[in-house]
Structure 1
């Protein structure tokens, strides 16, 4: 069942690709020249994204292969392998397969519509044990094996749309590496494109970031110029730069970045691989303050402390511009993995700088200091209302999003304010003086020493948790807890939201509301709101359909704009037969799935759906 080999001799484009020899510059010692990989799908040989691109929460760990907005293209085993792990989920990787190869390296195939029939049966047998639509299981003990070229799955859009195949290669240590370092190639004769330069101004004494300025580029061909920039102290430079390839409009990450002054290399980075545990360190490689405010991924040409990415091969004073007074021509060179190259020039004029060209830089802090705090008893919480249906994506191109500015008064309560310096390397707790709110920092949570201010603010039926500085990256999740005041203690519909104060949007966070306490795990230090959601999910009329495997399914439109659909808690039966409740958050669909279901001429559908705050909607219909 699992060894039905699919020969793809007719797919001539791929045949050409297989014969290309491995890249000569090979930083991954386990890869032998004799190891060849098969292009993993028959959808196309074009990419919509490449390795180490900016994402909302981490570095992109693989290639995204275009599927032309369609689902159901074939996915093949790139090498002989055993199935190590499978997952099915409406989030993250979606439906995913991890294959383990003979040299203990891995390949990953994500956002799949479904697995090949044999493997899908194995997955379903696990899911129907306790009716869990979402699973994440290591199944290597089942000894399911594929040969190179065997059909393993079909492309889809689960997890993160639109439809595409996400393909990764990982080392035996499970580190993602760029698949284009192997024999796999794409046609690319187009050099990278510079768009903007950011100048990050640092405090002359502490080197903590104070502000930034963005400069647009002037270009002629693939030669770019950012003009003349005058500085009065230490600065770090960062570039908004992307690559392109032939036959596709998509933009990609560059492979290397180099900054030189005359013959002196100040900075050189090369994105070949990274530990998966350091994927969040994208927020250090990129300028996180600029990313949080503008959604643009400016790649730093200097290295801040705490950054554990293995990209950096040449650094002088960590890449910091700390020159004596004078004028300095700087060249910034970007290359893609095919060797296409672009150069950008900028002249830095240093005026009144007390620093020295020979100053030895040993530490560039990650976190800024909080602003000066002025105590007051009445404040205005400024926020902006935005249509939750508007997409907010990371992009090099700005987007206009309609919004409405609002203000709400709030009160400062004694005992709800705390300011503390927290150091990495040991477990710490930040607690308000009244002990009613606290955060536990695991010893490896912080990337650097942090001077943090937390203020708890009460306003009618909401509680605001303000952090200064705000929107800070962390290495590991931190745990937030708050004891609810008496007037909110018995409210089961309170939920925790993170607040993006630059765009003033709220994002529901998974949390618990029990025993008069709200608890949640935070992926970043970002201001919070505890707010009530009393509105149950909205359900549409169910309808019969078939999935791409031909199985009969029932689709129920379901939407909850506040706290989202809790599909794992929901339940659907058709003609008394319980099924799995799958969820497509892009289409706002709940999907009833049971391979045993065969529709009758009249079918009774019973639906119970919950949202993230526990609100419940029920519906019965005959279809």
Structure 2
């Protein structure tokens, strides 16, 4: 360990002279670096923390450590990164490898011992710096599709010593990209009630005029007062059709820099504020993310630089101005958008009447509680970004709480008083959110204390109590009761629950706990006989599956192996 720490300090001293060490980290796969997702790409609830590297639609490709170091964290979860490895390197950085199919044998043996000790598929361990040393170019795992992956690929990150993800391309990795970012829409926003754009005091989509590659004009607009702009923009690399994120956006007003958004690094704590960075209302209605090129209150993102007047520009009467947007991908391919502005005050009709009969004012800077009958909704301080009127109505046990178009910083809480329900019925109740074409109920994470059932969520919408009395289903996939399965390496079972969802499961053979890996995308439990737990000829299998309100099913079968 002393040798490792000495090397760590010496290497940090050398690389401290360069902001991003080049040629230190290798590409973690043996195939060309082609991206399915880029760093800081805009996802629905966060900025993407790494590179999604294509694996040619295959699983099982060798994954190499990007440099020497030690495995500092192993996490296996049903969602998120699935099977993930974290390697800490002597230069202070940590690399992350997510959605793995499996680990190398040495690491697989280590983590399975932990899983059997804890009797849990989901585990998280933090080995010390001497336990799992890895060499340069060592195979540490195999690419897969575990966790919340939407298809086979490798999620790869580089984090600094404060656990902040950084763009791996900063460290010398190369992706072929000769294409400039493209723009699909541009919008203008009034800052307040006295500002106008084309005679309106609301978000206005501007007419975009494509020119040569990397250049767009916008039809001249009339405006007055303080206004901001937003853009919908993506990038494509040469070898992939994916719509990836851009690397840098700068804005200029009459030649002077107004704002810069730089996607080199961010912290996971701030990533949730993507809901403030994009126009959340527009995204929920149109499935398109407008990047707002101005900074509103309660926006703590560290991505901004050189923000003059928070990115807003002042358009005065009888002036001719030009607003420009410069968009770069990581390889410095650039795109310009030019917006000519005529300063012209225009009178708009102000509708000062706000129908508050079914609206409630929820404050940003202090807690707000909404009550009606046996339901109350609690918004703690700083749950919303702005003071907002929210539609609030209760009909029996159905709560109408506006629509999911208002961004939240954190969860709010819905409390149902179940005093009117019999105790045996209370146990099967859960809070459901209703949406979709068929108005299907979806389980909202809930807990019960006494007669109070509490659900927490970040999404407004329609909620109601739902009852689940049907236990999960358990069906064998590749075996039958009282049959021989000696030729099979895996034991597979399908589990499902059509209402509140699977909460937990437990499997034993001859009374011993066995590891069964759960893939929620296929509702499959899989046991690997190579774990060498099942050694008898005659085996009694027992699986218990429980849903989120406590309904349980038990499956039992006998199988034989030589």
The TM-score with structure 1 as length reference comes to: 0.76
Match of 2:363 in 1: 421
CA distance in 2, matches of 1:502, 1:59: 29
CA distance in 1, matches of 2:413, 2:103: 36
Deviations 1:557-596 (A, max 9, x none): 2233432222xx2122345543123211222212235612
CA distance in 2, matches of 1:120, 1:482: 45
CA distance in 1, matches of 2:113, 2:368: 44
Match of 2:98 in 1: 110
CA distance in 1, matches of 2:18, 2:46: 25
Match of 1:556 in 2: 493
Matches within 5 A, 1:304-453: 304-325=296-317, 326-352=319-345, 372-374=355-357, 419-423=361-365, 428=367, 430-432=369-371, 437-439=376-378, 441=380, 445-446=382-383, 448-451=385-388, 453=390
> Cα distance 1:286–1:517, how it changes in 2: closer, same or farther (>3 A)?
same
CA distance in 2, matches of 1:353, 1:463: 44
Please state if 1:252 is matched with 2:252.
no
Matches within 5 A, 1:121-520: 121-140=109-128, 143-161=131-149, 162-204=151-193, 211-215=202-206, 217-222=208-213, 223-231=215-223, 234-325=226-317, 326-352=319-345, 372-374=355-357, 419-423=361-365, 428=367, 430-432=369-371, 437-439=376-378, 441=380, 445-446=382-383, 448-451=385-388, 453=390, 455=392, 457-459=394-396, 462-464=397-399, 466-467=401-402, 470-487=404-421, 490-498=425-433, 507-520=442-455
> Cα distance 1:139–1:452, how it changes in 2: closer, same or farther (>3 A)?
farther
> Cα distance 1:575–1:230, how it changes in 2: closer, same or farther (>3 A)?
farther
Q: 1:47 aligns with which of 8, 12, 35?
A: 35
Whether the aligned pair in 2 keeps the contact of 1:177 and 1:272 (CA below 8 Å) is yes
> Cα distance 1:558–1:433, how it changes in 2: closer, same or farther (>3 A)?
closer
Measure how far apart 1:42 and its partner are.
2.2
- SS of residue in 2 equivalent to 1:152: strand
CA distance in 2, matches of 1:560, 1:291: 31
Whether the aligned pair in 1 keeps the contact of 2:360 and 2:390 (CA below 8 Å) is yes
- SS of residue in 1 equivalent to 2:117: coil
Measure how far apart 1:77 and its partner are.
1.2
Match of 2:545 in 1: 609
Whether the aligned pair in 1 keeps the contact of 2:270 and 2:300 (CA below 8 Å) is yes
> Cα distance 1:40–1:449, how it changes in 2: closer, same or farther (>3 A)?
same
Whether the aligned pair in 1 keeps the contact of 2:193 and 2:201 (CA below 8 Å) is no
Measure how far apart 1:506 and its partner are.
5.2
Measure how far apart 1:543 and its partner are.
1.4
Q: Which moved more, 1:197-206 or 1:237-246?
A: 197-206
- SS of residue in 2 equivalent to 1:273: coil
CA distance in 2, matches of 1:371, 1:507: 32
> Cα distance 1:328–1:619, how it changes in 2: closer, same or farther (>3 A)?
same
Measure how far apart 1:455 and its partner are.
3.4
Q: Which moved more, 1:446-455 or 1:196-205?
A: 446-455
Measure how far apart 1:187 and its partner are.
1.0
CA distance in 1, matches of 2:160, 2:442: 35
CA distance in 2, matches of 1:165, 1:538: 32
> Cα distance 1:42–1:520, how it changes in 2: closer, same or farther (>3 A)?
farther
CA distance in 2, matches of 1:370, 1:616: 54
> Cα distance 1:228–1:514, how it changes in 2: closer, same or farther (>3 A)?
same
> Cα distance 1:370–1:317, how it changes in 2: closer, same or farther (>3 A)?
farther
- SS of residue in 1 equivalent to 2:148: coil
Measure how far apart 1:330 and its partner are.
2.5
- SS of residue in 2 equivalent to 1:140: coil
CA distance in 2, matches of 1:370, 1:159: 49
Whether the aligned pair in 2 keeps the contact of 1:327 and 1:348 (CA below 8 Å) is yes
Whether the aligned pair in 1 keeps the contact of 2:371 and 2:377 (CA below 8 Å) is yes
> Cα distance 1:211–1:487, how it changes in 2: closer, same or farther (>3 A)?
farther
Deviations 1:216-255 (A, max 9, x none): 6332331223323444654432111101111111121111
Matches within 5 A, 1:535-550: 535-543=470-478
> Cα distance 1:527–1:135, how it changes in 2: closer, same or farther (>3 A)?
farther
- SS of residue in 2 equivalent to 1:543: coil
CA distance in 1, matches of 2:497, 2:375: 31
Unaligned runs of 5+ in 1: 1-25, 356-368, 376-416
- CA RMSD in angstroms comes to 3.4
Unaligned runs of 5+ in 2: 1-14, 481-486
The TM-score with structure 2 as length reference comes to: 0.84
Whether the aligned pair in 2 keeps the contact of 1:287 and 1:299 (CA below 8 Å) is yes
- SS of residue in 2 equivalent to 1:474: coil
Matches within 5 A, 1:34-113: 36-113=24-101
Whether the aligned pair in 2 keeps the contact of 1:552 and 1:598 (CA below 8 Å) is no
CA distance in 2, matches of 1:210, 1:556: 58
Whether the aligned pair in 2 keeps the contact of 1:227 and 1:345 (CA below 8 Å) is no
The aligned length equals 528
CA distance in 2, matches of 1:59, 1:340: 22
Deviations 1:179-220 (A, max 9, x none): 11111111111110111113334432699x985344463323
Match of 2:3 in 1: none
CA distance in 2, matches of 1:502, 1:421: 32
> Cα distance 1:505–1:253, how it changes in 2: closer, same or farther (>3 A)?
farther
